Amino acid sequence: MTGQRADLEKLRSFCAAVLLAAGADTPSSAAAARSMLHASRLGVDSHGVRLLPHYDMVFRGGRLNLSPKMHFDRKRSGSGILDADNAHGALAAYAAADHACDMARDAGIGAVGISRTSHFGPAGAYAHAMAEAGMIGIVMCHSDSFVRLHDGAERFHGTNPIAAAVPTADGNPWLFDMATSALPYNRVQLYKSLGRDLPENTASDANGIETRDANSVEMLAPLGGEFGFKGAGLAGLVEIFSGLLTGMKVSPEILPMGGPDISTPRDMGAFVICIDPDGFIGRGLLLAGMERYLTALRTSSSRTGGRVMAPGDREWEEAKHRKINGVPLDPETVIEFERLAGRAGVEVPF
């Protein structure tokens, strides 16, 4: 990306310090930093520390509650609603994951709908947190309209990500994290900064016509290319869980993430599901099954020049590399970090 790199722990401290200087309380700052570092550590740079300037702006602008008082209402033995009180989405999602895990230990499955939340960054961060607790985690969230429908010519769904994580015996979970759009909008922003063309069949101009120019993007395409009805359908599933089952707005009703109004809460929803293997076949048998499955997957035949990988394999390899060599920062992020450091009165992390 660029020759500029930063140490992971320095980045974590920097992100938390900048948000504290913006007025956010310690739990909110720590959760946001934890979430961003999850993505930056695993190479998901579109949802990593390059989100810091946005979070600083919306904390200062009043969109996010600086000191939220979240409330969890347990409806049944395995279900409940977390009112996030317009907290940072990461704080709400980590809290919901904890509640879901607690219920799953009792009921086998715990499901938590999150109301009055906000942008939470990488969905995989919260699925990963549940896998670290020995659970299977599933997470989804909707967002403001930016993705056209299949054959559509206007924005309708958000990027509406889905993530899942399953523990394994080697410590690195099977980790799947995807947008239901052909790519996430933050990757468009990243490609703008890097001056790269977008992949084919991923974005459209104002008329719904495909474009590879990141500067001309007015909407994203649903996942699936010519079979984009599949991505649009998955986005609708996320909408039902995250928006309707939590009593929140649907994507076309949500204020845009980057719009001019940064003082009004967006009334977004999210959904977290935790499954305790001990409520089914048991953790030991699950781990043994995952080992058999992943061994068979990774040793299956690949096409010439290719390599078969399980979800998460590429990310865990990148995490090892970045632990040693640091996180690469795109040029726009370097400039923004210098600006934020000056305002917060802290040192840049590079």
Examine residue 176 and state whether it is found in any structural domain, yes or no: yes
| Start-end of H helices in the chain | 8-21, 26-42, 52-61, 89-107, 124-132, 185-194, 229-239, 283-298, 313-325, 331-344
Examine residue 309 and state whether it is found in any structural domain, yes or no: no
Q: Are residues 241 and 152 part of one domain?
A: yes
Residue pair 338/52 in contact by the 8 Å Cβ criterion? no
16 vs 190, more confident: 16
pLDDT number for residue 185: 82
Band of the pLDDT at 49, cuts 50, 70, 90? very high
The count of domains in the chain is 2
Q: What is the mean pLDDT of residues 167-174?
A: 95
222 vs 207, more confident: 222
pLDDT digits (tens, 9 = 90+) for 293-333: 999 999 999 999 999 999 999 999 999 999 999 999 999 99
Angle at 220 between CA 216 and CA 222, to 5 degrees: 155
Residue 275 bridge partners (DSSP): 109, 136
pLDDT, mean over the chain: 96
Q: Which amino acid is at 209?
A: I
| Euclidean distance between CA atoms 291 and 285, whole angstroms | 10
Examine residue 56 and state whether it is found in any structural domain, yes or no: yes
Examine residue 250 and state whether it is found in any structural domain, yes or no: yes
Q: Which of 23-37, 174-188, 250-264, 270-284 has the lowest mean pLDDT?
A: 174-188
Q: Are residues 262 and 156 part of one domain?
A: yes
Q: Are residues 87 and 49 part of one domain?
A: no
Examine residue 245 and state whether it is found in any structural domain, yes or no: yes
Name the token pair of 31: 């959760």
Q: What is the mean pLDDT of residues 17-43?
A: 98
Number of Cβ within 10 Å of residue 260's Cβ equals 7
% of the chain at pLDDT higher than 90: 92
Q: What is the CATH number of the domain that holds 327?
A: 1.10.1530.10
Q: What is the mean pLDDT of residues 96-101?
A: 98
pLDDT digits (tens, 9 = 90+) for 99-143: 999 999 999 999 999 999 999 999 999 999 999 999 999 999 999
Name the token pair of 293: 């499955």
Q: Are residues 328 and 255 part of one domain?
A: no
Find the length of the chain. 350
Domain hosting 287: range is 78-181+222-299
pLDDT number for residue 311: 98
pLDDT number for residue 3: 66
Residue pair 106/83 in contact by the 8 Å Cβ criterion? no
Q: Are residues 240 and 171 part of one domain?
A: yes
Is 146 a residue whose pLDDT tops 80?
Answer: yes
Examine residue 196 and state whether it is found in any structural domain, yes or no: no
Checking phi first, is residue 300 left (phi over 0); if not, alpha (psi -120 to 50) or beta? beta
Q: Of 323, 330, 350, which Cα lies nearest the Cα of 53?
A: 330
Residue 74 bridge partners (DSSP): 80
Q: Are residues 105 and 177 part of one domain?
A: yes
pLDDT number for residue 186: 76
Q: Are residues 102 and 174 part of one domain?
A: yes
Name the token pair of 205: 């101009």
Angle at 139 between CA 270 and CA 208, to 5 degrees: 70
Examine residue 105 and state whether it is found in any structural domain, yes or no: yes
Q: Which amino acid is at 59?
A: F
Q: Are residues 337 and 287 part of one domain?
A: no
Residue pair 200/220 in contact by the 8 Å Cβ criterion? no
Q: Are residues 91 and 24 part of one domain?
A: no
pLDDT digits (tens, 9 = 90+) for 261-294: 999 999 999 999 999 999 999 999 999 999 999 9
Residue pair 263/62 in contact by the 8 Å Cβ criterion? yes
Q: What is the CATH number of the domain that holds 166?
A: 3.30.1370.60
Number of Cβ within 10 Å of residue 324's Cβ equals 6
Q: Are residues 167 and 41 part of one domain?
A: no
Is 1 a residue whose pLDDT tops 90?
Answer: no
Q: What is the mean pLDDT of residues 16-37?
A: 98
Examine residue 13 and state whether it is found in any structural domain, yes or no: yes
Q: Give the torsion sign (CA, 336, 340, 342, 345).
A: negative
Q: Are residues 175 and 30 part of one domain?
A: no
| Euclidean distance between CA atoms 104 and 123, whole angstroms | 20
% of the chain at pLDDT higher than 70: 99
Name the token pair of 267: 């009334």
Residue in the block written with tokens 């609708």? 236
Residue pair 32/15 in contact by the 8 Å Cβ criterion? yes
| Start-end of H helices in 148-263 | 185-194, 229-239
Q: Are residues 55 and 88 part of one domain?
A: no
Q: What is the mean pLDDT of residues 85-109?
A: 98
